[in-house]
Amino acid sequence: MTAPHAIALQVNGERVEAFVLPRTNLADFLREHLQLTGTHVGCEHGVCGACTVRVNGEIVRSCLMLAVQANDAAVETIEGLSDSGEISDLQEAFRARNALQCGYCTPAMLISAQDLLKAESQPDRERIREHLSGNYCRCTGYQAIVDAVEATAKARKHREGSAP
Amino acid sequence: MNKPAPQNLSELDRPNSYIGKTVPRPNLDRLLQGRGLYVSDIELPRMAHVVFVRSPHAHARIVSIDAQAAKKKPGVVAVVIGEELAAVITPWVGVLSHMKGLKSAPQRAIAIDRVCWQGEAVAAVVASSRAAAEDAAEFVAVEYEELEPVTDMRTALEAATPVIHASLGDNLAFERTFEAGAVDAALAEADEVAEAEFVFGRHTGVTLEPRSVVADWNAAEARLTIYQGTQAPHMVQNIAALHLGLEEAQVRVVCKDVGGSFGIKVHIYADEMATYALSKLLKRPVKYVADRIESFNTDIHARDHRCKARIGVKRDGTITAFEIDDLTGIGPYSMYPRTSAIEANQVVNLVGGPYVTPNYRARARVVFQNKNVMCQYRAVGHPIACSITEGLVDLAAMRIGMDPVEIRRRNLIADDAYPCGSPAGLRFELLSHHASLNKLLAMMDYDALRAEQAALRAKNVHRGIGIASFIEVTNPSAAFYGVGGAKISSQDGVAVRLDAQGAVVCQTSITEQGQGSESLTAQIVGSVLGVSMEKVRVILGDTDQTPYGGGTWASRGAGIGGEAALQAAKILRRNILDVAAAILQSQPSELDIVNDAVVNAGDGATRIDLRELARIVYFRPDTLPPGIQPELMATRHYVPRQYPFAFTNGVQASWLEVDTDTGFVKLLKHWVVEDCGTIINPQLVDEQIRGGVVQGLGAALFEKCIYDERGQLTNANMADYLVPMSSEMPDIDIGHVVSPTSESELGAKGAGEAGTAGAAAAVANAVNDALKPFGAVITEIPLTPQIILTALKRI
């Protein structure tokens, strides 16, 4: 019951095999086993959202998911999303709008925002605020984040519209 | 027409100046890509993890601790109790000599014999992993004999209440009384006297990254390296050395990325002291990362105040007097090293501060309780003082039937009255209350909002407008801590050097927790030197690497650290021009630096790139004229001396709707006009204000550490302790009035706490404005649905 389990999964496109204790949560696995420290741990009980990652395309709180549950899954973290360029425009919008201060909530905030932008092309400010409500930020007061997400949505729409 | 010579321009107005411009903060990509380095990310060879066994009782005698079983658990390195750790680290007492009469008891890194709040550590379990340490901690058997806890500050001083520290004689930590003018006469001659008890919920900072520290004692070097997310590295260095019996040279404090601070991380906590000591004891790196329950139980709390207050007002709106009697409970110890008397002291200093009223009487009492410690959190004392003052002003206006704006116009200090002082002895160099208020009213279209409010009332929709003027303490001189004997520096230092490729390296003693310290330093240095910001690298947060200084707290980074950067860059610029003149056989006065190159001051023609100048200086000094010794590094320090504090001012307004059936408040809009003097980066200033406002809005509506009568914190988790979420927060419009301080060349005052200072007062006034038709007045925060429905007599 408490012996390490073998798991195999994709993390940011790379195959990873590991032995993990059944109690190890995905956040600790990513941070401590794989040194993917861009996934942050804020409350360890699924409220603050700082540990948000993508598992099989869906956003999850990695502190509420066990590493063994990620067996066979495809996990994406901020490191992977940064290197692939998938969210580079969103990151640039955050940078230009100073939509981060201490940066601790930021990786998860970006992942949650991208989740919204993939599902809806033109979310209004209220919709953005609602979608990001599971991601706490103590520094910014949220307005700059909402501005950056809104600007990214508009820019993407514009790019789509002008595509041949 | 001749172009104006560059020397006629201020250092800050030069072509290509970054001052006053919105430019993105350097190095944000690191944080955006998850490639920062927070303390919780740090791993060192042989590093062990510590978990603390903490008291479940608010007040108890420790009968026995049996660690034998825990010591045998897998991965355990050591289980250490208070007596054992006391051999390595000495206790401390959180007092300052200028807080006359302030007393506290010796506090230890790990409790010995007795625990005084729920969450005080009684043993440390050190193991190969945090999980192994947590497992073993379950097997530390502690027997307690419960003692009666002191929890209600209102009865803390009564004879029947137990005294928490017998050696102190009573539970009174500090008392200050103050009187200016003729208060009794002023109240007697008032047409109306309004009074109320203002109650504030104890709340805390909830930094998203919990407090974390890695302490690494290298026995061979006899040196301790502390990796800690602190706002004040040199303070930590001093305190760690003092209590571990080391010289400061034996302690290095390194502060990389910090996941939120807000004043929570400007103190030194017992568990951090214990971690330093454990590393020394065990001769290996030890890491401590608080979990969220520990954060709620041990991160300093703030604002647990009850204040009875009165205001006298004449029919014409003249405020005749303010009187307050403030009571605050600070937990069982005065916090170290900044003390827990500062907040109450600030309340006494700040009440009535924006107004001309000369008559003021105040008493503040600070009492011990068996709850978590209270100390300085963002905008120390300001939200209390502002809520009391602005709440009273609105009560007075209500009594005489005057508009809240009008009563403020009649009593705010005139914009041409400066320099002047306040009844409490504060000295104001230059404030702009009226200009700020006028700007605010224009931004919010006050008259239109009043019309909208009236129209909606007819439809049974209850909206309110709340206004709060405030003053803020920034740029503190040695008057804050130094004069009281605390080795917390009020100066900051900056060293700037031109490197061998013509880029600039800048070391500063201010720290970065996301406010933009790195950016403002690079902007100032780049502007003064004529170097592009991309070429300025800023190093901060390392006592081995930076000049000595205070750090980032009390809204001091830009005003003090920024001025040091300005002065250091001026010296380096002069030195560069001296060398350039020697190389070019010119005069320094005929040269300037623009866009990374030395140019003719007259026609702007490029003479020599800084890269080439650096190459000559560093590698071909033999080609320089005899007698030239270039100094391409300059250091300057700055500390305010003329004024104890550079006061700023501002005014906030809230527009909200109260659902009188459910008691819920919907924030619709918030406005702030703020005057922080010279603005270095408008975007960063605005974002500091917005973030500060939202922390104040949290206090106004949601945040409260709820203790039961046994001293148990009942909502020590993020699900039950509510903080503002994005869906509940309004957009916040910000405007500025600019009154630079003339004490420094830069003219910058602080901006980091202004938002927090006035937000709760604006919201409380707006709620009372909305509830006016019901005759309900609430002077308690957080304004929960329960509080509102109770006031409406609906429950």
> Per-residue confidence at B479, pLDDT binned at 50, 70, 90?
confident
Chain B residues whose beta carbon lies within 8 Å of the beta carbon of residue A144: 687, 690
Q: Is the pLDDT at B567 greater than 80, yes or no? A: yes
Chain A residues with beta carbon closer than 8 angstroms to that of B31: 100, 102-103, 106
Name residue B126's amino acid. Answer: V
CB B198 within 8 A of CB B391: yes
Q: Smallest CA–CA separation between A8 and chain B, in Å? A: 23
Of B603, B470, B478, B580, nearest in space to B529 by CA:
B580
Among B25, B35, B130, B208, most A C-beta atoms within 10 A, so best to mutate, is B208
Domains B39-147+210-258+264-298 and B382-471+645-791 share a fold: no
Contact predicate B748/B740, CB 8 Å: yes
The verdict on A143 and A106 lying in the same domain is yes
With an 8 Å Cβ cutoff, are B41 and A47 in contact? Answer: no
In this complex, which of A44, A130, A141 lies closest to B727 when CB atoms are compared?
A130
* Cα gap B384→B381, rounded to integer Å: 5
- Rounded Cα–Cα distance for residues A43 and A25 (Å): 13
The residues near B306 (Cβ < 8 Å, ≥ 6 apart) are B153, B154, B197, B198, B199, B200, B326, B327, B328
Do A32 and A57 sit in the same domain of this protein?
yes
**Whether the predicted pLDDT of B474 surpasses 80:** yes
Question: Collapsing DSSP states into helix, strand and coil, what is residue B213?
Answer: strand
pLDDT at A75: 98
**Do residues A99 and A70 share a domain?**
no
- Interacting residues of B75 by C-beta distance below 8 A, sequence separation 6+: B127, B128, B129, B132, B133, B136
* Under 8 Å between Cβ of B645 and B425: no
The residue from A61, A81, A101 where one domain ends is A81
> ipTM of this model?
0.98
Cα B776 to Cα B793: distance, rounded to the nearest angstrom? 9
Give me the mean pLDDT over the B698-709 stretch: 98
Q: What percent of chain A has pLDDT over 70?
A: 98
Helices (H), B445-506: 446-457
Instruction: Specify whether A76 is located in the same domain as A113.
Output: no
How far A62 CA sits from the closest chain B CA (Å)? 15
Cβ neighbours of A45 in B, within 8 Å: 292, 717-719
- Is residue A27 domain-shared with residue A59, that is, in the same domain? yes
Kindly report the number of other CB atoms within 10 A of residue B158's CB atom: 10
On whether any CB of chain B is under 8 Å from the CB of A23, the answer is yes
Q: Could you tell me the residue range of the domain that residue A106 belongs to? A: 87-162
What pLDDT is stored for residue A1 in this prediction?
A: 54
pLDDT of residue B9: 53
pLDDT exceeds 70 at position B265: yes
Of B271, B250, B480, the C-alpha closest to B381 is B480
Is pLDDT of B205 > 50? yes
The shortest CB-CB distance from B514 to any of A42, A103, A107 is to: A103
Averaged pLDDT, B51-61: 98
d(CA B567, CA B572): 9
Contact A37, B34 (CB under 8 A): yes
Q: Would you list the domain boundaries of chain B?
A: 6-36+491-638, 39-147+210-258+264-298, 382-471+645-791
The mean pLDDT of B563-584, rounded to a whole number, is: 98
Q: Which amino acid is at A163?
A: A
- What's the mean pLDDT in B604-626? 97
Instruction: Inspect the interface and report whether the beta carbons of B691 and A95 lie closer than 8 Å.
Output: no
At what angle are helices B342-350 and B382-400 packed, to 10 degrees?
30
A42 has a chain B CB within 8 A of its CB: yes
Answer yes or no: are the C-beta atoms of B530 and B536 closer than 8 Å.
Answer: no
Q: How far apart are CA B757 and CA B400, in angstroms?
A: 27
Instruction: List the CATH number of the domain containing A106.
Output: 1.10.150.120
Mean pLDDT of B211-220: 98
8 Å CB contact of B209 and A102: yes
Name the domain boundary from A51, A81, A111: A81
Of A95, A98, A136, the CB nearest to B723: A136
In this structure, what token pair is assigned to residue B283?
């001769």
Residue B4 pLDDT level (bands cut at 50, 70, 90): very low
Distance in Å, alpha carbon of A157 to nearest chain B alpha carbon: 23
CATH number of the domain where residue A11 is located: 3.10.20.30
Q: Are the beta carbons of A143 and B259 separated by less than 8 Å?
A: no
Question: Who's near B11: CB < 8 A, 6+ residues apart?
Answer: B527, B528, B566, B570, B745
pLDDT at B622 > cutoff 80: yes
The answer to whether the Cβ–Cβ distance between A95 and B41 falls below 8 Å is: no
From residue B392, how far is each of A87, B438, B602 by CA, in Å? 50, 21, 60
* Average pLDDT rounded to a whole number, residues B517-529: 97
Q: What is the pLDDT of residues B82-140, one digit of tens each?
A: 999 999 999 999 999 999 999 999 999 999 999 999 999 999 999 999 999 999 999 99
**pLDDT at residue number B480:** 85
Whether chain B has a CB inside 8 Å of the CB on A38: the answer is yes
Q: Answer yes or no: do A100 and A63 share one domain.
A: no
Report the share of chain B in percent with pLDDT over 90: 96
The Cα B681–Cα B678 span in angstroms is 9
CATH number for region B6-36+491-638: 3.30.365.10
Q: Using 50, 70 and 90 to split pLDDT, how confident is the model at B3?
A: very low
Residue type, A120: E
Out of A58, A81, A104, pick the residue that ends a domain: A81
Closest by CA to A17, choosing from A31, A29, A28, is A29
Separation in Å, CA of B129 to nearest CA in chain A: 10
* CATH code assigned to B39-147+210-258+264-298: 3.90.1170.50
Q: Tens of pLDDT along B157-192?
A: 999 999 999 999 999 999 999 999 999 999 999 999
Q: What is the pLDDT of residues B369-389, one digit of tens each?
A: 999 999 999 999 999 999 999
Cβ of A137 and B40 within 8 Å? Answer: no
Q: From B656, B650, B647, select the one nearest B756 (Cα to Cα).
A: B650
CA of B525: how far to CAs of A96, B573, B604, in Å?
A: 21, 10, 21
Question: Which class is domain B382-471+645-791?
Answer: alpha beta
User: Would the CB atoms of A101 and B515 count as touching at under 8 Å?
Assistant: yes
| Whether residue A109 is found in the same domain as residue A70 | no
Our count of domains for chain A comes to 2
Q: pTM for this structure?
A: 0.97
For residue B319, the surrounding DSSP H or E stretch is strand B319-329
Question: In angstroms, rounded to a whole number, what is the distance separating the alpha carbons of residues B44 and B87?
Answer: 26
Average confidence (pLDDT) over B49-71: 98
The average pLDDT across B286-311 equals 98
Length of chain B, in residues: 795
The whole-chain average pLDDT of chain B stands at: 96
Question: What are the pLDDT tens digits along chain A (164 aa)?
Answer: 589 999 999 999 999 999 999 999 999 999 999 999 999 999 999 999 999 999 999 999 999 999 999 999 999 999 999 999 999 999 999 999 999 999 999 999 999 999 999 999 999 999 999 999 999 999 999 999 999 999 999 999 999 877 55
Q: B40 to chain A: which residues are within 8 Å by CB? A: 37, 40-41
Read off φ and ψ for residue A133, nearest 5 degrees.
-70, -15
SS3 A89: helix
**Please, are residues B281 and B80 in contact by the beta-carbon 8 Å criterion?**
yes
